[in-house]
Amino acid sequence: MLEVGHFIPEFELRSTQGDLFSSAKMTKKTILYFYPKDGTSTCTIEARGFSAAYQDLEAVGLQIIGISPDSIESHKKLRASEEIPFHLLSDNTSKICDLFGLLQRPSPEELYPIRTTFLVDTHRKILAIWPDIGDVDEDVSTHSEDIVSFVMEVFDKANL
């Protein structure tokens, strides 16, 4: 199981931007959030929360990346319908979700990850983890606010 201070695995996945996203080439600190499925109520609430926080997080040099087993086409539909400003990655085999230890059972028996968010630096080092967010609307709806508060507090303490 990955912990704060560990490094996330290197991976490459297709992005809604049209390219191959590589964790080895990250140039910004990144909020990397894994979610089960496009279009479900809690996943949509979570995406809306990150969309609302997008400008504040981008202003302090962070990028947001969402990952789920859904296809690029499904991700594009969600981005368009919810006006999501950041890109989503398709882990259609759940191999990356499995690599991160987010499946309750190994793929292909389990395809949907446990809702988890990582804050990582440009060297792929984990700075914070919000594990197993759950599917309770209240938890998901405040999740992005919790992350923004955490990031702003860290930046304030570091005088950044």
Residue numbers annotated as active site: 43
Query: How many Å apart are CA 121 and CA 107, to the nearest integer?
Result: 28
Pairing of strands 87-90, 116-120: unpaired
- 114 and 132 in contact (C-beta within 8 Å)? yes
DSSP β-bridge partners for residue 33: 66, 117
Cβ neighbors of 52 (< 8 A, separation 6 or more) are 144
